[in-house]
Chains A and B, each alone.
Chain A
Amino acid sequence: MQTALELRGLTKRFGDKVAVDGIDLTVPQGSFYGLVGQNGAGKTTTLSMAVGLLRPDGGTAQIFGADVWTAPDTAKAIVGVLPDGLAMPERLTGREVLTYLGLLRGMAKDVVAQRAAELLEVLELDTAEKALVIEYSTGMRKKIGLATALLHAPRLLVLDEPFEAVDPVSAATIKTILRGFVAGGGSIVLSSHVMALVEQLCDHVAVVDAGTVVAAGPLDQVRGTNTLEDTFVGLVGGQDKGIKELSWLSK
């Protein structure tokens, strides 16, 4: 089976701090891959390097065999990305953002128009037809970001915290869309803090801690007989420290 995303020895230093320390990761085609880790574990840095938004100090990233740094045109045409907290063309409306991006990707005008209309409707952004992206709420920004990632029908989706600040109804819609994408042969890598969500959606999982992968593979293999949360805390929470309480807070 072909590999959707292959990371080999990805490394990134910021000053003295090693943010990502030689990460290896193999995402098989057709898998729904969850990347979990604490704040600052290196998830966002890893995903940025994986799609060509951040230049690594070492290592390689390949999307369906195309190297992100040596063959960017091929690699970037087949990946859809939802980065966390980056700006958009803020003075455009949602529909204009999608039209602009579709044309940038060289898609035909009528195809762009039709897909944009469908995406806006499904993600319930069509009610805010006249609002500029800068006026969007955080949840709406996530949704328009997801729409831009889906617009060109990529083969791999790389999503950084796609469910953050999204309301439950929209979250259910997004889950349905993503499950449909995987069922149709697409592959997804998503990062999240929410273990329940990863357990619910993903068939593969990788636990990242301090810039390295401490466990990776099919979900059942990684979590064994425990819940993912227990496994995660066991892996990254430290052995004897456990979870501390604030003694002065309860009487």
Chain B
Amino acid sequence: MAVEVTMAQMKFAILRHAFRGQRAQTAGTGAVLGGLLAAGTVYLAFSGPFEVLAAAYAVWLLGWVLGPVFMGGGDETVRPEYFALLGLPARRLATGLLTAAFVGVAPLVSLAALLGLLVVGVRSGSVLLAVPAMLLQLAVFVLLSKVSVALVGLALRSRLGAIGSGLVNGLILAALGQIWVFFAAFGQTGIPSAVRYLPSSWGLLAAQGDWRALAALVVLVLVLLAAWAALLGKRATRVSGSGRRRIAAASSGGAVIAKELRTWSRDLVRNHQAAFALAYGVGFAASPLLIGWNGMLPYAGPIFVVMAAAMASNLYGTDGTALWLTLMTPGASDVRGRQLAWLSVQAPIAIVLGVAFTFLASGPWPLILALLAALLGGAAGLIPLVSVYALVPGTDPHRRAGNPLRTSEDDGGLTGLAYLMLASVLVTGVPAGLTAIYLGWAGVPVGLLTGALCWWGFGLLAERRLRSHGPELLDTMRTGRKPQTRTSFRTDHLSKTEKAIAGWCFGLGAIPLIPQGILAAVFVSNGMLRHSWFLATYLPAGWRYPVAAGFIALGLAMYGTGLWLVRPNRPKPAPAC
């Protein structure tokens, strides 16, 4: 404990010196305002329903996380750099700094606010759980704040910048795709039940007698502490001190996997793409929680797979002319190695997402598992196939300019390729999905079968194409010119109007299809009338289903129009080559 106590004393000493004159006034004002807010929060614990208290704690958490990010990096009174020469282990440094972080006005004010948990504990008759819950909840606030600041700090100059921007982009796009949810949420009164499951409410759940929430808090604190320790290590050793693992593979297939896995973890572009797909999948599936509907939550895994596949649609193009090495070693199987590497990076994320969220929403298990198997296999097969057949020449990695995310000058081509991949991966999920819908668990073996077939068959086709047309692909990458014999599925042959129409169709097609169509029909069938902004629920009896069906048709027509506009066109018959 010596280190922890010393750091806390140090913080106390610095604060005592610092809180004089002007700063003392500022700190005093802050303490008074914070005290009022804390008192208000505690009052909620006495009077209101616990949902409102949960929302209040969510706001406290949000303040801890976003406050420092927007206001100059948060509390940096005791800095890790001060101890860099002491050679403390990262975990020890983190616990020491955490202890010091509890000394100060903001933690004190927050602790006061968390007294509300004690009140809840008394009201629910579980005081024994409420006291540790208070402390753990405060630790979560402080640690989440520290971790988010450390992340943002790193993001500004490193790989995490790419990941961060990927997450933000993914969330923004997902929110745009699900914009109806936000409209609906505005129209609703009351607090979405999802707030009860945020980490800010775990202390509240524990104070109500749920010991599992207390255990979850302990785990979260440990995880955050480990994350922060790791981030502190990065901060102290800014100049790339991380050791490089030696390649342990002993075969050519293993070598390709090792190379790809290293590229997945070290390449900013691929980091960005994985983060984007993850944020998109989670954001898209979770946003209906805002209106209290968890029916889309289980689809986060499948949506992630489809989006991750679209991101990897130009797999060979992003590596540029490094293809020459593949051409010079014809004995090795590049495609299979890349497939395995893609799967070993994306499949665990997809499976964890799918299983965890399906568990939270209690089903539908057969459909999700069937879709995961079919889509993962389909994507692993289609990625190499599409990227060799419809390669968009990129800029070689070592020739790229400042923005590492710009991999090609041909944005139109890349966008078209991503759409093509989205559509074709979705198709590979259809047989398993339909079987699961009509026959239940039979869908899972169907998914495994079609997934394995796609993996094997499409991979084989890609391998053959690479062998027969390798030099042409290399030439395309070297010169940036595509031979004019290729099927093009892209957006830059469209006029501005057509592009705009396609954009609106893809961007807004979900509104008539999902909320005004499918959901409205569900509400009507459940007898939930005059519900928020769902038009069909306001109509006279005979009109409800036809209107919902009309909206579904409109949504499908919009997606269809979009796809038709960017469909593949064949400008000339392909000459023999």
In the bound complex, do residue B262 and residue A91 qualify as a contact, i.e. CB atoms below 8 Å apart? yes
**Range, interface on chain B:** 35 or more
With A76-B330, A89-B263, A96-B262 given, is the CB distance from A54 to B471 under 8 Å? yes
Q: Mark B220-263, 1 if CB is under 8 A from A, else 0.
A: 00000000000000000000100110110111101110110011
Q: Are A92 and B252 in contact (CB under 8 A)?
A: no
Question: A132 vs B328: C-alpha distance in the bound complex, in angstroms?
Answer: 22
Tell me, yes or no, whether B327 is within 8 Å of chain A by CB: yes
Does B324 make an interface contact (CB < 8 A)? yes
A97 CB to closest chain B CB (Å) equals: 9
Instruction: Quote the shortest CB–CB distance from A146 to chain B (angstroms).
Output: 14
Q: Is the CB of A88 within 8 A of B325?
A: yes
Write out the residue numbers on chain A whose beta carbons fall within 8 Å of the beta carbon of B474: 53-54
CB of B322 within 8 Å of the partner chain? yes
Which single residue of chain B is at the shortest CB-CB distance from A49?
Answer: B471
Count of CB-CB pairs between chains A and B under 8 Å: 112
Contact of A87 among B256, B321, B327, B471 (CB under 8 A): B321
Nearest Cβ distance between residue B397 and chain A, in whole angstroms? 4
Q: Is the beta-carbon distance between B252 and A73 smaller than 8 angstroms?
A: no
Contact of A103 among B243, B250, B327, B472 (CB under 8 A): B250
- What chain A residues lie within 8 Å of B240 (beta carbons)? 130
- Complex formed: what's the CA distance from A129 to B245 in Å? 12
Please give the distance in Å from B469's CB to the nearest CB on chain A: 9
Within 8 A of B (CB), among A70-106: 72-73, 76-77, 79, 81, 83, 85-93, 95-96, 99-101, 103-106
Interchain CB contact under 8 A, A53 and B471 = yes
Given A52-B327, A73-B330, A73-B331, A99 contacting B256 (CB threshold 8 A): no
Give the residues in chain A near B475, CB-CB below 8 Å.
54-55
Chain A residues with a Cβ closer than 8 Å to the other chain, count:
38
Contact A103 B255, beta carbon cutoff 8 Å:
yes
A109 within 8 A of B: yes
- Interface: B176 (CB within 8 A): no
Whether A96 and B244, one on each chain, are in contact in the complex, defined by CB atoms closer than 8 angstroms, is yes
Q: Mostly helix, strand, loop or mixed at chain B's interface?
A: helix
Q: Are B249 and A106 in contact (CB under 8 A)?
A: no
Residues on A with C-beta less than 8 A from B319 are 87, 89
A52: chain B residues within 8 A (beta carbon): 327-328, 471
- Bound state CA distance, A55 and B472, in angstroms? 7
Whether B329 lies near A76 (C-beta < 8 A) is yes
Judging by beta carbons under 8 Å apart, are B320 and A89 in contact?
Answer: no
Assess whether A105 is in contact with B398, with CB atoms less than 8 Å apart. Answer: no
Asked if residues B255 and A104 are in contact (CB atoms below 8 Å), the reply is: yes
CB-contact partner of A90 in B249, B324, B398, under 8 A:
B398
The distance in angstroms between the C-alpha atoms of A192 and B266, with both chains bound, is: 35
Chain A CB within 8 A of B478 CB: yes
Known interface pairs A52-B327, A73-B331, A133-B398; 10 further A-B residue pairs with C-beta atoms within 8 A, sorted by A's residue number? A53-B328, A76-B329, A83-B324, A87-B319, A88-B325, A89-B259, A89-B263, A93-B244, A104-B252, A104-B325
* A-B contacts, 11 listed (Cβ < 8 Å): A53-B474, A76-B328, A87-B396, A89-B263, A96-B244, A99-B246, A99-B247, A103-B249, A106-B331, A106-B332, A134-B397
